[in-house]
């Protein structure tokens, strides 16, 4: 079996640029929901003095995540904000004092066994830093460790523009391998595969040099075909296993962890500083000086881009992440989140919508879909409002990578239709379960 995909322009303009730390902004707005699952519960109030690394949001459920102050200063308000997804979520706004004083209780955790290791990961507030935002401790909470046959480290970074994971491997390669040693020690994992696309020669060289000194680690150089970094795609291309529909990587003996997430876990075990800042790639045709920056979580996109050198024109579109799966933001005042690995600002020409015409039945969308779904039939089933047909067409397998829209000569919004079709399918399945369909 061969998984399909597409060739996209790499545009890795900042791959050789070590990240620059930005000045502390006047205020930060830290959402209590920067992860998959239930929002954290704010544990501070207006007027409280906070310091860097202090807990300000406590995980409110199993699938939730702790949130910490990224700056020192005064809580201006505990409020609600509208997220870029359109939902109202709680947030904490902090007026900074510019001192960046560290919270006095920040110290390395005491880790003795698997349980204390997972607990430490939970306390750190780390989530999947490759974009998904799934709480990392949940992924590592494996009931039967004997099922873990391989740990696949996702270093593919297949989207155009983004180079923040590349900088992790180049600048913090030792922490990647300290993270590997931690999982070896506390989860008894024996096999590790670092999957990197071939367009990252410096990172490949460093990872191979470190792997040569570490038992059980293999660096797998993968073709630069998007979406190589998709979890199920990466599992197939590294260990040759297919995750069943509705299943999880652990069902085929695999845990997948993003390379920057892994490096952060190792750094947290060493320093005790929770997740309070991010390396973010700032790029796009509207950006004056593309570069990688280190920004406190909650810093506005506007402040970050200004601190990085500013814009050369008014952006027509600004995206969290890359142009294939990234999310357009409604305002430059949106904050940097835990899982923000890039901000791409596009000028009018780059962002200009393409003219849509009728489907010509070429089948390119299905040919290039990694899972060989048929977006043409999905679109028709969605228009018919047929949940039964959407279920049969397996639209729930769509990972919204955008390959179908990218290759469509008619410029049809296929991935957007798939997203809507998945919502329709969920409603249909819920009604079916209740006996109403």
Query: In this predicted structure, what is the pLDDT of residue 3?
Result: 56
Query: In this predicted structure, what is the pLDDT of residue 316?
Result: 97
Q: C-alpha angle 185/187/190, rounded to 5°?
A: 75
Query: In this predicted structure, what is the pLDDT of residue 84?
Result: 74
Establish if 388 belongs to a structural domain: yes
Domain end point (choices 271, 305, 325): 271
Q: Are residues 369 and 266 in the same domain?
A: no
Establish if 394 belongs to a structural domain: yes
Q: Are residues 237 and 379 in the same domain?
A: no
Q: Tokens 């998984």, residue? A: 3
Domain that holds residue 156: 114-271
Q: What are the two backbone dihedrals, phi and then psi, of residue 392, each rounded to the nearest 5 degrees?
A: -65, -30
Q: Are residues 124 and 251 in the same domain?
A: yes
Q: Is 256 helix (H, G, I), strand (E, B) or coil?
A: strand
Q: Are residues 368 and 267 in the same domain?
A: no
Q: What is the pLDDT along the chain (437 residues), one digit of tens a residue?
A: 455 799 999 999 999 999 999 999 999 999 999 998 999 999 999 999 999 999 999 999 999 999 999 999 999 999 999 887 778 999 999 999 999 999 999 999 999 999 999 999 999 999 999 877 899 999 999 999 999 999 999 999 999 999 999 999 999 999 999 999 999 999 999 999 999 999 999 999 999 999 999 999 999 999 999 999 999 999 999 999 999 998 999 999 999 999 999 999 999 999 999 999 999 999 999 999 999 999 999 999 999 999 999 999 999 999 999 999 999 999 999 999 999 999 999 999 999 989 999 999 999 999 999 999 999 999 999 999 999 999 999 999 999 999 999 999 999 999 999 999 999 999 999 998 887 65
Q: Are residues 258 and 396 in the same domain?
A: no
State how far the alpha carbon of 293 is from the alpha carbons of 78, 164, 273, 280, in Å.
27, 9, 19, 5
Query: In this predicted structure, what is the pLDDT of residue 437?
Result: 57
Domain end point (choices 241, 271, 301): 271
Provide the token pair at 243.
Answer: 């995750």
Establish if 415 belongs to a structural domain: yes
Report the domain count for the chain.
2
Nearest CA to 269 out of 334, 205, 182 is that of 182
Rounded Cα–Cα distance for residues 196 and 166 (Å): 9
Query: In this predicted structure, what is the pLDDT of residue 1?
Result: 47
Q: Tokens 């050198």, residue? A: 309
Is residue 50 within 8 A of residue 353, CB to CB? The reply is no
> What CATH number has the domain bearing residue 200?
3.40.50.11540
Rounded Cα–Cα distance for residues 230 and 130 (Å): 10
Domain end point (choices 243, 271, 299): 271
Q: Are residues 130 and 233 in the same domain?
A: yes
State how far the alpha carbon of 68 is from the alpha carbons of 27, 286, 349, in Å.
15, 32, 39
Per-position DSSP letters for 46-78, written without gaps between them: TT-EE-BT-EEEE--SSS---EE-SS-EEEEEE
Is residue 343 within 8 A of residue 319, CB to CB? The reply is yes
The helix (run of H) or strand (run of E) holding residue 379 is: helix 375-383
Q: Are residues 257 and 397 in the same domain?
A: no
Rounded Cα–Cα distance for residues 378 and 387 (Å): 10
Mean model confidence pLDDT for the chain: 95
Strand partners, 218: 193
Establish if 43 belongs to a structural domain: no
Rounded Cα–Cα distance for residues 186 and 140 (Å): 10
Q: Tokens 């507030």, residue? A: 125
Establish if 346 belongs to a structural domain: no
Q: Are residues 123 and 266 in the same domain?
A: yes
Establish if 264 belongs to a structural domain: yes
Per-position DSSP letters for 89-115, written without gaps between them: EEEEEEEE-S--PBPTT-------SHH
Q: Are residues 152 and 259 in the same domain?
A: yes
The DSSP code for 277 is E
Is residue 151 within 8 A of residue 254, CB to CB? The reply is yes
User: pTM of the predicted model, to two decimals?
Assistant: 0.95
Q: Are residues 259 and 128 in the same domain?
A: yes
Query: In this predicted structure, what is the pLDDT of residue 85?
Result: 74
State how far the alpha carbon of 332 is from the alpha carbons of 30, 93, 325, in Å.
15, 16, 19
Establish if 36 belongs to a structural domain: no
Q: Are residues 124 and 248 in the same domain?
A: yes
Rounded Cα–Cα distance for residues 301 and 347 (Å): 16
Establish if 420 belongs to a structural domain: yes
Burial class (CB in 10 A: 0-12, 13-18, 19+), 361: exposed
């Amino acid at each position: 079996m061969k998984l399909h995909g597409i060739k996209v322009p790499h545009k890795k303009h900042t791959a050789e640029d070590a990240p620059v730390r930005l000045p502390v902004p006047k205020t930060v707005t830290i959402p209590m929901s920067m992860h998959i699952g239930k929002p954290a519960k704010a544990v501070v109030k207006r007027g409280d003095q906070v310091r860097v690394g202090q807990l300000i949001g406590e995980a409110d459920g199993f699938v939730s995540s702790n949130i910490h102050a990224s700056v020192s200063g005064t809580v201006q308000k505990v409020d609600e904000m509208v997220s870029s997804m359109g939902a109202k979520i709680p947030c904490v706004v902090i007026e900074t004092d510019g001192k960046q004083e560290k919270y006095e209780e920040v110290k390395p955790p005491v880790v003795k066994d698997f349980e204390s290791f997972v607990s430490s990961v939970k306390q750190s507030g780390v989530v999947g830093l490759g974009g998904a935002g799934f709480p990392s401790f949940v992924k590592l909470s494996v009931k039967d460790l004997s099922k873990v046959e391989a740990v696949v480290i996702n270093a593919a970074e297949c989207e155009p523009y983004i180079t923040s994971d590349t900088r992790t491997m180049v600048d913090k390669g030792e922490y990647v391998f300290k993270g590997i040693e931690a999982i070896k020690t506390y989860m008894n994992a024996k096999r590790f595969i670092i999957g990197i696309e071939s367009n990252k020669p410096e990172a490949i060289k460093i990872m191979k040099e470190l792997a040569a000194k570490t038992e059980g680690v293999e660096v797998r150089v993968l073709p630069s075909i998007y979406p190589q970094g998709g979890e199920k795609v990466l599992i197939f291309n590294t260990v040759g296993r297919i995750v069943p529909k509705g299943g999880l990587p652990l069902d085929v003996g695999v845990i997948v962890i993003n390379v920057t997430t892994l490096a952060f876990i190792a750094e947290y075990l060493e320093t005790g500083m929770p997740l309070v800042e991010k390396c973010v790639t700032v790029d796009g045709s509207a950006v004056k000086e593309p570069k990688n920056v280190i920004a406190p979580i909650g810093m506005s996109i506007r402040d970050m881009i200004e601190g990085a050198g500013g814009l050369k024109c008014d952006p027509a579109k600004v995206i969290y992440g890359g142009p294939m799966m990234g999310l357009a933001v409604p305002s430059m005042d949106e904050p940097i989140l835990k899982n923000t690995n890039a901000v791409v600002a596009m000028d009018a020409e780059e962002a200009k919508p393409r003219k849509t015409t009728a489907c010509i039945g070429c089948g390119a969308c299905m040919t290039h879909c990694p899972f060989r779904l048929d977006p043409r039939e999905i679109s028709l089933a969605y228009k018919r409002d047929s949940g039964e047909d959407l279920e049969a067409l397996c639209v729930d397998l769509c990972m919204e990578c955008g390959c179908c829209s990218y290759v469509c000569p008619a410029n049809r919004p296929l991935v957007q239709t798939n997203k809507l079709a998945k919502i329709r399918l969920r409603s249909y399945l819920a009604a079916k379960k209740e006996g109403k369909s």
